[in-house]
Amino acid sequence: MDESAARQVMLVHAIESTDAARQILSDDDRAYASQSAQSLAQWDASSSQSPVTPALFLQKRAGLILKRIEERTPSFGALTVSKNWLRSLASVLPLLALLAGALADRISDPHRVDLLSAPLLLVIAWNLLVYALLLFWWLAPASWAHPEQRGWMARLANFKASIPGKLPKPLAAAATTFATEWLAASAPLTQARLQRAIHFSAAAFALGAVISLYVRGLLSQYQAGWESTFLDAQQVHTALSMLFLSAMSVFQLPGFSLAQVQALGLPHTGVAAAGAQWVHLYGGTLLLLVILPRVALAGVARWREKKLSSNFPVDLGHPYFRKLTQNIGPALPAVLRVFPYSFNVDEARDKGLNNVAKLLLGERASVMLRPSTGYGQTPAGLPGSGNPDNPNVALTVVLFNLNATPEQENHGAFLDWFLQPGGPGFSVLIDESGYLERMGGQNTGAARTQERIALWRDFCTQHKALVSIVNLVHPETRKDELERNFAPSTFAP
């Protein structure tokens, strides 16, 4: 789906995931939207002679839901319209850079071509430094990437969240959730747009400087020269020979000797016509070292921008979308893959796992229960490596027993095994049913249960794992927590 459709789908997700009390959308509203969207999707698909896809269904459903909410709350309409100031900035910034580049070279004497022109040398040096940094980050290991670097760039997508001020409280909460999710999801697209704007602006700045050089040459007579407190003619000749090597080689421009450079040292009485040679050298160098590379980089960023904009990365395999689209298209039933640790799952708890799978992934979901890993042991190999157990695995969970006390050297090592490179994304389920049975009717049972749960939550947080408490004998008692935790707060590609 494209960016606009993804925005609507994610907005509806934010509304449904925060509207647990059904204050915004009733169950009838949701069911009606799903039924109507399926009919509309089938109509569109038959018109284009293509199959109905989950993406098409979700797009139609989101449009219907947003229209219904806007009818009930007109002020909500402002949130459904994308206001991306970065797009306008990306159009205006290159024009401003072109003007700035044209003015930059006028800092010096307008009747002289300075062989050591500070503005032009700074432009070239800065761009060469940028190329080196880009190459460094391209070759750098992926582990060096800092997710927070995307944060400030993502905020450029909307300079501030355009949330209407008169929304009802439930809608305002959903809008806040959506703003957070959208900024995270659109970060790669925002980065591509920002890169395109920056590269085009850098090329425009250099182009402005070149245009200024040639236009002034048409209207005035240049006198070439240079002056320096610390450099002599030999050093200036060497530096300029290296600087202009590419332009002289590509455009076959005439070179210059040490004697010529020495004669142009100020003060001098050289001929005015000498300026044209240096204008061509600077113009050719800026074209080869700044304008063309920056235009190429801008083209790559533009290609990434179009690709991400037309195929926005929304994870349709996530439980929220799996559950909605379980009857759409030829998709196979979603699978919940479970890795128990020091936990033998009996018949009653196996049935509970199947109920949890249906709750999270839809009625057609099934469970893939892996053999229990013994206490103090870790499975061989990497989870998800080699031949996958099932290509339709939608969720991978690690199952612990609340009866156990979390230990870094055992339970922690098991979680770290899943965090290895190549491992799947996973969540943690802690089954409380056995612990509650053990505590029975003790007066201190509830307090001790909460203490043990808090201990496990802290432990899993330290290992950066999403944890949910589940009762596999009575899964409905923890239904709200499961639905809340497995409704994604971020959409990663």
User: pLDDT (tens digit, 9 = 90+) per residue, 188-212?
Assistant: 998 999 999 999 999 999 999 999 8
pLDDT of residue 6: 93
Least confident interval from 60-64, 145-149, 231-235 = 145-149
pLDDT at 90 over 60: yes
pLDDT of residue 272: 45
Least confident interval from 13-17, 68-72, 155-159, 280-284 = 155-159
The string of DSSP letters for 403-461 reads TSPP-IIIIIHHHHHHTSTTPPP-EEEEE-HHHHHHHTT-TTHHHHHHHHHHHHHHHHH
The string of DSSP letters for 338-376 reads EEEBS----HHHHHHHHHHHHHHH-TT-EEEEPPPBPTT
Burial 326-342 (b: 16+ CB within 10 A, else e): bebeebeebbbbbbbbb
pLDDT of residue 424: 67
* 298-352 confidence digits (pLDDT tens): 999 999 999 999 999 888 877 788 778 877 765 556 788 999 999 989 999 999 9
pLDDT category, 225, cuts 50, 70, 90?
confident
Residue 104, Cβ neighbours under 10 Å: how many?
Answer: 20
Angle formed by the axes of helices 3-18 and 292-310, nearest 10°: 50
pLDDT category, 160, cuts 50, 70, 90?
very low
pLDDT (mean) for 77-82: 74
* Four-CA torsion 163, 164, 170, 173, nearest 10 degrees: 20
Q: Under CATH, what is the fold of the domain 319-485?
A: Rossmann fold (3.40.50)
* 342-394 confidence digits (pLDDT tens): 998 999 999 999 999 888 887 778 899 988 888 888 765 545 443 345 557 87
What does the mean pLDDT of the chain come to?
Answer: 83
* 3-42 confidence digits (pLDDT tens): 999 999 999 999 998 888 889 999 899 999 998 998 888 8
pLDDT of residue 492: 38
Parallel, antiparallel or unpaired: strands 366-369 and 335-340 = parallel
Closest C-alpha to 392, from 322, 340, 345, 462: 322
What six digits make up the tokens of 315?
Answer: 């994870």
Higher pLDDT, 291 or 139: 291
Going from N- to C-terminal start, the domains of the chain cover 3-72, 85-310, 319-485
Closest C-alpha to 359, from 465, 444, 469, 478: 478
Backbone angles phi, psi at 388, to 5 degrees: -65, 150
Higher pLDDT, 296 or 52: 296
Least confident interval from 233-242, 269-278, 384-393 = 384-393
Percent with pLDDT over 70 in the chain: 84
What six digits make up the tokens of 15?
Answer: 């509304």
Cβ-contact 410, 417 below 8 angstroms: no
Q: How far apart are CA 367 and CA 370, in angstroms?
A: 9
Q: Which contacts (CB < 8 Å, 24+ apart) does range 469-472 have?
A: 469/402, 469/429, 469/430, 469/432, 470/352, 470/356, 470/429, 470/430, 470/431, 470/432, 471/352, 471/431, 471/432, 471/433, 471/436, 472/345, 472/348, 472/349, 472/352, 472/353, 472/356, 472/431, 472/433
pLDDT (mean) for 427-435: 92
Closest C-alpha to 183, from 489, 486, 389, 433: 489
Q: How far is CA 122 from CA 204, 267, 282, in A?
A: 15, 24, 12
pTM: 0.71
